[in-house]
C-alpha cells in the first residue's frame, strides 16, 4: 500500500521524537506528529491504534510490538476496563507518568499537569531488577538505547521522565507542562443551571483549558510535598540523617569509564573504608553511593560533627531545619566536602571533578535532611459533593517518601502507581462498592513500605497491575469496608448509582467541549506565533483584552484592512470597537462580547470569548490550512 506524504513526514518527525531528550523537545515533536496526521489524543480510546496504523517505519513498528504486548494484558480488557473514566494526575514525575500509562492502557482518559516545563534532575535512581524489566517491556530500550546496558542498574531522573513521557504520550495521555494544580473545584450544586458539571481543578495559569476538564478520579503524584488536602501523614523520626547529593560532569573519557561505581550494597560492608576516610580527611560518612550515568552522581549520608568541623555548617543547632537553613550552610565548603568525598572514595581516579549544573544553573550539590520521613496514613479517599463522586489516590513520593541513599523511590513508587491503577479499575468496574474499593486499596498499601528487592515476587514477567502478581502474602481483605467510612467524605456511599448514569450521559458532550477549547487555543497560538513580540496567547480571555491579538489575527490574513503595527495596547475600548465593527462588516462575524466586557480587568467571559473566537477560526480555517 502507498504511504501518504503526511504519514511519511510524520514518520521522520517520529525519529526526532524517539531521540528527543528534553521535555520541550518531546512535547513539540509529538505535537508536530499530531499536526501532520491531523490527530488529537482525544478520543483517547482510539488514539494509540490510529497512530500505529499511520506510523509504520521499522523503528515505530518495533516500539508498537513492545507496547502491544503490554497492552494486551488481560487486566486492561482491550482498553475497555476504564473507558468511561476520566483521570487528572498532578505531577509529571516518573510515578505520575507511570500511573498515567496504566490508566490509559485501561482505556481511561488521562490528563497530567506538571508545573515545571523542564526535566532537570541529574540525580540518579537506583532500579530494582523488576523495575528494569518493567521499563524494558514499555520499550525503554527502544527509546533510550543505553538503558541499563550490561550490569547498569540506574538511570538519571531526567532520563526516566523522558522515557515515561514518551510512552505516556503515545498511549494517549495528555500532558500539560507549565501547569500547576492549585485546588479542587466543587461540582455545580444540584438544581443549578449546570448541575451536571462535575469535579474540576483550579490550576495556574488560571485560564488554561485544563481548568475545564472534568474528572472522576484524581491522582496526587506531586512529590513529597504533596498538595492534596484530606490526607494525614505519619512521621517517622529517626536519628539525625543528613544526605548530600553531588553531580559532576561526565566527559565520557576512557579514564572515567574505568572508574568503578560504588553500589548501595557495597558501601554497607566497607566500614574500614569509612574509618580511613575519616582519619585522612575528617569526612565522616555513614554511606556513599556512586553511579556513573550522564553525570558522575554521588549520594552520601554525612555525620553532623564532620560537617561542622569542615565548616559546611556554621553553627550547631538541635533543630534540623535550622541546622540546614541557607544561612547556616557555607555553600563553598559544601562543594569542597562533596568533591573531596567523591575524589577519595573513587581512589582519585576521576580526572576532573567539575560540578554539573542544576535546574537553576548552579553547581549541582545539595544537602537534605532525612531525619523525619513521611508516609501517608492512607492512600485513597472519596469525596462526594452535589451528587458527584471523586476518587482520590496518592502515588509515588506523595504516598511514601523514599530515603534516597537506598534508592527505593521509583521501585516502591511504581508499585504504588500500579496499585492506584488497579483501584481505578475496580472503581470503574462497578462490581465493588466504594467502601470495598477503598478497603482493598488500603489493604494493599499495608505492604508497600515493607517491599524490598528480595521480598517481592520474583516472577517479573508475570507482573501486571493485579497486586497478586507482585506482592507475596497479600491479604486484600485486611481492612473491612466499614472501617473505610472515615475516608468517605460527603453524601452516602450507597447513594450514587443514578447520578453516575447521568454523569456518563453528559460525559461525551463535555469531552467535546474541552477538546474544542483546547484545540482552539492551540490553533490561535499557532496562528499568532509570528506576532509573538506584540502579543502572547496564553488563554482565551485576558490575552485578548487589549484587542491586539484579534487585530493580529485579522492582519495575518487581510493586512490591508488594519494598521496593526500602529495600534496601542493601552487603548482597549478604541481597539475593540474598531475590531468588532470591522469583523462584522468584512467577515459577517457578530460581536458576542462587548467593549465593556473587554475592559473588565478580569477579561471577558471565557465561554463567550471562546464562541466569538470560534467564529474567526471557522472563517480563517480554510485559509490557514
Ligand atoms: P517527583 O519525581 O518528585 O515528581 C513530582 C512532580 O510533580 C514534579 O515534577 C513536580 O514538579 C510536580 N508537581 C509538584 N507539585 C505540583 C503541582 N501543584 N501541580 C503540578 N505539578 C506539580 N531519589 C533517589 O533515589 N535519589 C536521588 O538522588 C534523588 N534526588 C532527588 C532530588 C530531588 C530534587 C527530588 C525532588 C527528588 C529526588 N529523588 C531522588 C526522589 C525521586 O526523584 C522520586 O522518588 C522519584 O522521582 C519518584 O517520584 P514521584 O514521581 O512520586 O515524584
Containing domain of residue 514, as a range? 500-624
Rounded mean pLDDT, 187-211: 84
Give residue 94 CA to ligand 1 midpoint distance, Å. Answer: 8
Output the nine-digit C-alpha cell for 48: 494509540
Q: Is the pLDDT of residue 502 over 60?
A: no
- Report how far residue 10's alpha carbon sits from residue 4's, in angstroms, rounded to the nearest whole number: 10
Instruction: Please check whether residues 199 and 96 belong to one and the same domain.
Output: yes
Region of poorest pLDDT, from 30-34, 243-247, 495-499: 495-499
Instruction: Please check whether residues 329 and 388 belong to one and the same domain.
Output: no
Residue 225 inside a domain? The answer is yes
Q: How many helices (H) and strands (E) does the chain have?
A: 21, 17
Check if the beta carbon of residue 174 is closer than 8 Å to that of residue 41.
Answer: yes
Residue 13 inside a domain? The answer is yes
pLDDT band with cut points at 50, 70 and 90 for residue 267: low
- Report how far residue 34's alpha carbon sits from residue 13's, in angstroms, rounded to the nearest whole number: 10
pLDDT of residue 3: 74
Biggest CA-to-CA distance, the chain:
86
pLDDT of residue 515: 56
Residue 281 inside a domain? The answer is yes
pLDDT of residue 1: 57
pLDDT of residue 575: 95
Instruction: Please check whether residues 128 and 23 belong to one and the same domain.
Output: no
pLDDT of residue 440: 97
Spatial CA neighbour of 231 closest among 475, 494, 474, 442: 442
Give residue 93 CA to ligand 1 midpoint distance, Å. Answer: 6
CATH code of the domain in which 556 resides = 1.10.418.10
- Report how far residue 507's alpha carbon sits from residue 515's, in angstroms, rounded to the nearest whole number: 12
- Report how far residue 603's alpha carbon sits from residue 534's, in angstroms, rounded to the nearest whole number: 18
Instruction: Please check whether residues 363 and 414 belong to one and the same domain.
Output: no
Q: Which residues pair with residue 365 across a beta bridge?
A: 246
Q: Is the pLDDT of residue 591 over 90?
A: no
* Residue whose C-alpha cell reads 492534596 in the numeric block: 228
Q: Is the pLDDT of residue 174 over 80?
A: yes
pLDDT of residue 94: 98
Burial classification of residue 92, based on how many CB atoms lie within 10 Å of its CB (0-12 exposed, 13-18 middle, 19 or more buried): buried
Instruction: Please check whether residues 102 and 197 belong to one and the same domain.
Output: yes
Give residue 22 CA to ligand 1 midpoint distance, Å. Answer: 16
Residue 412 inside a domain? The answer is yes
Residue 74 inside a domain? The answer is no
Task: Give the H/E segment covering residue 539.
Answer: none
The helix/strand/coil state of 355 is strand
Radius of gyration of the chain, Cα coordinates, nearest whole angstrom: 27
Instruction: Please check whether residues 512 and 578 belong to one and the same domain.
Output: yes
Which of 331, 353, 370 marks a domain boundary? 370
pLDDT of residue 191: 65
Q: Dihedral sign, CA of 413, 418, 422, 425?
A: positive
- Report how far residue 165's alpha carbon sits from residue 117's, in angstroms, rounded to the nearest whole number: 13
Whose C-alpha lies nearest to ligand 1, atom 14? 222
Give residue 161 CA to ligand 1 midpoint distance, Å. Answer: 10
Instruction: Please check whether residues 262 and 206 belong to one and the same domain.
Output: no
Region of poorest pLDDT, from 61-65, 262-266, 276-280, 400-404: 262-266
Instruction: From 154, 287, 397, 414, give the residue whose CB has the most ligand 1 atoms within 8 Å, as the site to mutate.
Output: 397
Check if the beta carbon of residue 327 is closer than 8 Å to that of residue 275.
Answer: no
Residue 191 inside a domain? The answer is yes
Question: What is each CA distance from 153 to 13, 142, 292, 356, 460, in whole angstroms?
Answer: 30, 17, 10, 21, 16
* Residue whose C-alpha cell reads 502478581 in the numeric block: 469
Atom of ligand 1 nearest to the CA of 119: 9
- The Cβ of residue 603 has, within 10 Å, a number of other Cβ atoms equal to 20
Check if the beta carbon of residue 29 is closer than 8 Å to that of residue 9.
Answer: no
pLDDT band with cut points at 50, 70 and 90 for residue 220: very high
Whose C-alpha lies nearest to ligand 1, atom 41? 409
Check if the beta carbon of residue 109 is closer than 8 Å to that of residue 86.
Answer: yes
Residue 141 inside a domain? The answer is yes
Q: Tens digit of pLDDT for each residue in 527-562?
A: 888 888 888 888 888 999 999 999 999 998 888 899
Q: Could you tell me which residues come within 8 angstroms of residue 406 by beta carbon, excluding any fewer than 6 positions away? A: 126, 264
Rounded mean pLDDT, 451-475: 94
- Report how far residue 497's alpha carbon sits from residue 305's, in angstroms, rounded to the nearest whole number: 61
pLDDT of residue 193: 64
Rounded mean pLDDT, 239-264: 93
Instruction: Please check whether residues 315 and 336 belong to one and the same domain.
Output: yes
Say what the alpha-carbon torsion angle 152, 155, 159, 160 is, to the nearest 10 degrees.
110
Q: Tens digit of pLDDT for each residue in 70-111?
A: 998 999 999 999 988 999 999 999 999 999 999 999 999 999
Rounded mean pLDDT, 618-623: 76
Residues 342-366 as b/e (b if ≥16 CB within 10 A, e otherwise) read bebbbeeebeebebbebeeeebbbb
Residue 73 inside a domain? The answer is no
- Report how far residue 374's alpha carbon sits from residue 415's, in angstroms, rounded to the nearest whole number: 18
Ligand 1 residue neighbourhood (C-beta within 6 Å)? 90-96, 113-116, 121, 123, 125, 157, 180-181, 221-223, 227, 245, 299, 396-397, 402, 404, 407, 409-410, 413
Instruction: Please check whether residues 182 and 317 belong to one and the same domain.
Output: no
Instruction: Please check whether residues 95 and 218 belong to one and the same domain.
Output: yes
What are the DSSP calls for 596-609, one per residue? HHHHSTT-S-HHHH
Task: Please give the tally of structural domains in the chain.
Answer: 4
Q: Is the pLDDT of residue 511 over 60?
A: no
What are the DSSP calls for 74-132, one per residue? GGGGGGTTTTT-EEEEE--SHHHHHHHHHHHHTT-EEEEEES-S------EEE--HHHH
CATH code of the domain in which 91 resides = 3.50.50.60
- Report how far residue 314's alpha carbon sits from residue 329's, in angstroms, rounded to the nearest whole number: 6
pLDDT of residue 381: 97
Please provide the distance, in angstroms rounded to a whole number, between the alpha carbons at the two ends of the chain: 26
- Report how far residue 624's alpha carbon sits from residue 9's, in angstroms, rounded to the nearest whole number: 19
Give residue 404 CA to ligand 1 midpoint distance, Å. Answer: 11
Q: Is the pLDDT of residue 510 over 80?
A: no
Task: Give the H/E segment covering residue 33.
Answer: helix 23-37
Give residue 166 CA to ligand 1 midpoint distance, Å. Answer: 18
Instruction: Please check whether residues 314 and 336 belong to one and the same domain.
Output: yes
Q: Is the pLDDT of residue 474 over 80?
A: yes
Give residue 394 CA to ligand 1 midpoint distance, Å. Answer: 13
For the chain, the average pLDDT equals: 90
Question: What is each CA distance from 163 to 14, 142, 158, 397, 481, in whole angstroms?
Answer: 14, 10, 9, 19, 38
Rounded mean pLDDT, 563-571: 91
Which of 42, 68, 94 marks a domain boundary? 68
Percent over 70 (pLDDT), the chain: 93
Residue 236 φ/ψ region, left for φ over 0, alpha for ψ in the -120 to 50 degree band, beta for the rest = beta
Which of 14, 35, 68 marks a domain boundary? 68
Instruction: Please check whether residues 224 and 261 belong to one and the same domain.
Output: no
Q: Tens digit of pLDDT for each residue in 148-166?
A: 888 888 999 999 999 999 9
Amino acid at each position: 500500500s502507498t504511504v501518504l506524504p503526511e504519514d511519511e513526514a510524520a514518520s521522520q518527525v517520529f525519529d526526532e521524537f524517539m531521540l528527543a531528550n528534553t521535555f520541550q523537545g518531546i512535547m513539540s515533536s509529538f505535537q508536530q506528529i499530531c499536526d501532520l496526521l491531523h490527530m488529537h489524543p482525544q478520543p483517547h480510546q482510539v488514539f494509540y491504534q490510529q497512530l500505529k496504523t499511520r506510523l509504520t517505519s521499522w523503528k515505530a513498528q518495533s516500539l508498537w510490538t513492545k507496547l502491544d504486548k503490554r497492552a494486551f494484558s488481560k487486566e486492561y480488557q482491550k482498553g475497555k476496563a476504564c473507558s468511561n473514566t476520566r483521570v487528572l494526575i498532578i505531577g509529571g514525575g516518573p510515578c505520575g507518568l507511570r500511573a498515567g500509562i496504566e490508566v490509559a492502557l485501561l482505556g481511561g482518559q488521562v490528563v497530567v499537569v506538571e508545573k515545571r516545563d523542564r526535566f532537570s534532575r541529574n540525580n540518579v535512581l537506583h532500579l530494582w531488577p523488576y523495575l528494569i524489566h518493567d521499563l524494558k517491556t514499555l520499550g525503554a530500550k527502544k527509546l533510550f538505547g543505553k538503558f541499563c546496558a550490561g550490569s547498569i542498574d540506574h538511570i538519571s531522573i531526567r532520563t526516566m521522565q523522558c522515557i515515561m513521557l514518551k510512552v505516556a504520550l503515545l498511549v494517549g495521555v495528555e500532558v500539560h507542562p507549565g501547569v500547576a494544580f492549585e485546588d479542587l473545584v466543587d461540582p455545580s450544586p444540584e438544581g443549578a443551571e449546570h448541575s451536571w458539571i462535575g469535579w474540576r481543578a483550579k490550576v495556574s495559569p488560571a485560564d488554561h483549558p485544563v481548568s475545564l476538564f472534568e474528572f472522576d478520579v484524581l491522582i496526587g503524584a506531586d512529590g513529597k510535598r504533596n498538595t492534596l488536602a484530606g490526607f494525614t501523614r505519619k512521621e517517622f523520626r529517626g536519628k539525625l540523617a543528613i544526605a548530600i547529593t553531588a553531580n559532576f560532569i561526565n566527559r565520557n573519557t576512557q579514564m572515567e569509564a574505568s572508574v568503578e561505581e560504588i553500589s548501595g550494597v557495597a558501601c554497607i560492608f566497607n566500614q574500614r573504608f569509612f574509618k580511613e576516610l575519616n582519619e585522612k580527611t575528617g569526612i565522616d560518612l555513614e554511606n556513599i553511593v556512586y553511579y556513573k550515568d550522564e553525570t558522575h552522581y554521588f549520594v552520601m549520608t554525612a555525620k553532623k560533627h564532620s560537617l561542622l568541623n569542615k565548616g559546611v555548617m556554621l553553627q550547631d543547632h538541635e533543630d534540623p531545619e535550622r541546622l540546614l537553613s541557607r544561612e547556616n550552610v557555607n555553600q563553598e565548603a559544601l562543594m569542597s566536602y562533596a568533591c573531596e568525598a567523591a575524589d577519595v572514595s573513587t581512589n582519585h581516579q576521576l580526572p576532573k571533578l567539575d560540578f554539573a549544573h542544576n535546574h537553576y544553573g548552579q553547581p549541582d550539590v545539595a544537602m537534605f535532611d532525612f531525619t523525619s520521613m513521611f508516609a501517608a496514613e492512607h492512600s485513597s479517599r472519596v469525596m462526594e459533593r452535589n451528587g458527584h463522586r471523586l476518587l482520590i489516590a496518592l502515588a509515588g513520593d506523595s504516598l511514601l517518601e523514599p530515603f534516597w541513599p537506598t534508592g527505593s523511590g521509583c521501585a516502591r513508587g511504581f508499585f504504588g502507581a500500579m496499585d492506584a491503577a488497579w483501584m481505578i479499575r475496580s472503581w470503574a468496574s462497578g462490581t465493588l462498592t466504594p467502601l470495598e474499593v477503598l478497603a482493598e486499596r488500603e489493604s494493599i498499601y499495608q505492604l508497600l513500605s515493607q517491599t524490598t528487592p528480595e521480598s517481592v515476587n520474583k516472577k517479573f514477567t508475570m507482573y501486571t497491575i493485579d497486586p497478586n502478581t507482585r506482592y507475596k502474602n497479600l491479604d486484600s481483605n485486611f481492612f473491612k469496608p466499614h472501617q473505610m467510612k472515615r475516608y468517605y467524605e460527603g453524601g452516602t456511599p450507597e447513594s450514587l448509582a443514578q447520578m453516575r448514569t447521568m454523569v456518563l450521559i453528559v460525559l461525551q458532550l463535555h469531552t467535546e467541549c474541552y477538546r474544542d477549547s483546547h484545540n482552539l487555543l492551540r490553533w490561535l497560538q499557532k496562528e499568532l506565533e509570528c506576532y509573538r513580540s506584540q502579543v502572547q496567547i496564553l488563554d482565551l480571555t485576558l490575552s485578548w483584552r487589549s484587542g491586539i491579538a484579534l487585530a493580529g489575527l485579522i492582519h495575518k490574513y487581510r493586512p490591508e484592512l488594519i494598521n496593526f503595527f500602529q495600534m496601542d495596547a493601552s487603548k482597549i475600548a478604541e481597539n475593540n470597537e474598531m475590531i468588532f465593527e470591522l469583523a462584522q462588516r468584512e467577515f459577517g462575524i457578530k460581536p458576542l462580547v462587548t467593549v465593556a466586557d473587554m475592559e473588565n480587568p478580569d477579561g471577558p467571559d471565557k465561554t463567550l470569548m471562546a464562541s466569538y473566537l470560534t467564529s474567526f477560526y471557522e472563517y480563517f480555517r480554510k485559509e490557514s490550512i
